[in-house]
Amino acid sequence: MQAAPLVEVKSAMPSLFFITHPEVVVDPAVPVERWRLSPRGAARMQAFAASDMMAGVTAIWSSGETKALEAAEILARQLGLSVQVDEALGENNRQATGFLPPAEFEQVADAFFANPEGSVRGWECAVDAQARILKAFANITRHPPAGDVAIISHGAVGTLLYCALTGVPISRRHDQPFQGNFWRADFPALKPATGWTQIAPV
């Protein structure tokens, strides 16, 4: 899915923004869930946090993974809010393989989406990850919010949630084109009103 530039028309109703962490420092010696934002990723998140798009956010939720938490904390500092963590917003479990070189990772990720009911090389299967994510999403959205809600998580998480909320089969064709994008859904229907949109220029 191609990412659109940051040009959005905000709904009058509170919105939910699903945001993926931007660029990270790739370090094969560090567990993937502990990877940190790169300087470029942090700068892009800071620009997004200071944008008018985020001005109405009153609640921030994050995956427990370091890269997502760092992005969420940038937004929280900008808005004077705290970050609520839900571990169920974490990326699909890939501990069976750990770090994979980029080309190999892309091949396995393709298979993850193409075979959603099966485990690929020991990874958590897509339908199980989607069910976990939907449960977390329902918990976050069960009460009408006072303002906009931001969820900072990961690309596969956002793709699986997008597919569920739009009623389309799991497919990588709905995946973000690169790290650091968002889509928006408006309360109360919470059906995505946009596709992936870049948080700031890459």
Domain boundaries, given as residue ranges, for the chain = 15-198
pLDDT at 12: 78
Task: Return the CATH class of domain 15-198.
Answer: alpha beta
pLDDT at 202: 87
Give Cα separations from 155 to 80, 89, 120, 176, 183 (angstroms). 26, 11, 18, 6, 11
The one-letter amino acid code at 111 reads A
pLDDT at 111: 97
pLDDT at 121: 96
**What is the C-alpha to C-alpha distance for residues 35 and 92, in angstroms, rounded to an integer?**
15
| pTM metric for this prediction | 0.93
Give Cα separations from 93 to 84, 112, 165 (angstroms). 21, 11, 22
